[in-house]
């Protein structure tokens, strides 16, 4: 399985986004993870479609857009138009998850469902055949720099097992508290896309952190 590292620009320097995106691209990042927060679904506010549109031309890497907003279907078209390659919607943010996924696919964008730490895999059973990626939150969404929740490894194992059993095609992504230790736990459980914010951007030498993550799962 192809392992991918997705630096989260939530921990980048917002006044130097171009510099910080180009830097991780040059040092082996596979995706750019973009955390969109609305101050309602999560207690924090970040950026909207205009920022996605602004960063689109500065990188060739796929933009992995994680929507932490209520009723995300309201903005799927906007984010697709802005250049998102993957759009993730939380099951906890909409009563119409299935429709939201159909809407993402209709935009020819990869569709992702995201589950909070308190949400069981069972809740997304009926969309598993539809999605390209599943994001298992390994912290409660809203902020960078929180501690990894090790119990989430069970969910990853469950999703990996279902994938194998039914021949589903989704990637399994993890987000929150990922470092060179926790990434191993997640990779062993069956995850293959790893978001890391503060571990990469909070370091003096982010390139060493990207290497450490890659080495940990080799």
For the CB of residue 152, give the shortest distance to ligand DX5 in the complex, in Å.
12
How distant, in Å, are the alpha carbons of 95, 129, 141, 160 from that of 153? 26, 21, 17, 11
Q: Which of residues 16-55 bind ligand DX5 (CB under 6 A)?
A: 33, 35
- Is 35 assigned a catalytic role? yes
Q: Is 13 annotated as a binding residue?
A: no
Catalytic site residue from 38, 64, 132, 175: 175
User: Please, is 126 exposed, middle or buried when counting C-beta atoms within 10 Å of its C-beta (0-12, 13-18, 19+)?
Assistant: exposed
Examine residue 141 and tell whether it contacts ligand DX5 (CB under 6 A): yes
For the CB of residue 166, give the shortest distance to ligand DX5 in the complex, in Å.
27
Query: Which candidate, 165, 161, 184, places its Cα nearest to that of 174?
Result: 184
For the CB of residue 164, give the shortest distance to ligand DX5 in the complex, in Å.
27
- Is 175 assigned a catalytic role? yes
Q: Is 118 annotated as a binding residue?
A: no
Q: How many CB atoms lie within 10 A of CB 31?
A: 23
Question: Where do contacts with ligand DX5 occur on this chain (CB under 6 A)?
Answer: 8, 10-11, 33, 35, 66, 139, 141-142, 144-146, 175-178, 195-199
Q: Which residues form the catalytic set?
A: 35, 175
């Amino acid at each position: 399985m192809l392992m991918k590292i997705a630096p989260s620009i939530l921990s980048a320097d917002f006044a130097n986004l171009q510099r910080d995106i180009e830097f991780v691209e040059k040092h082996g990042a596979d995706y750019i993870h973009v955390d969109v927060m609305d101050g309602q679904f999560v207690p924090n506010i970040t950026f909207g479609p205009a920022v996605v549109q602004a960063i689109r031309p500065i990188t060739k890497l796929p933009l992995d857009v994680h929507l932490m907003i209520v009723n995300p279907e309201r903005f799927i078209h906007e984010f697709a138009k802005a250049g998102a390659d993957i759009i993730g919607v939380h099951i906890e943010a909409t009563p119409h998850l299935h429709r939201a996924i159909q809407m993402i696919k209709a935009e020819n964008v990869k569709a992702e469902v995201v589950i909070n730490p308190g949400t069981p895999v069972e809740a997304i059973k009926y969309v598993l055949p539809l999605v390209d990626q599943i994001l298992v939150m390994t912290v409660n969404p809203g902020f960078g720099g929180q501690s990894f929740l090790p119990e989430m490894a069970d969910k990853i194992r469950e999703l990996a097992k279902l994938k194998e059993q039914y021949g589903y095609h989704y990637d399994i992504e993890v987000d929150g508290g990922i470092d060179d230790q926790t990434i191993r736990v997640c990779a062993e459980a069956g995850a293959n896309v790893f978001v890391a914010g503060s571990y990469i951007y909070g370091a003096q030498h982010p390139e060493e952190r990207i290497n450490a993550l890659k080495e940990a799962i080799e």
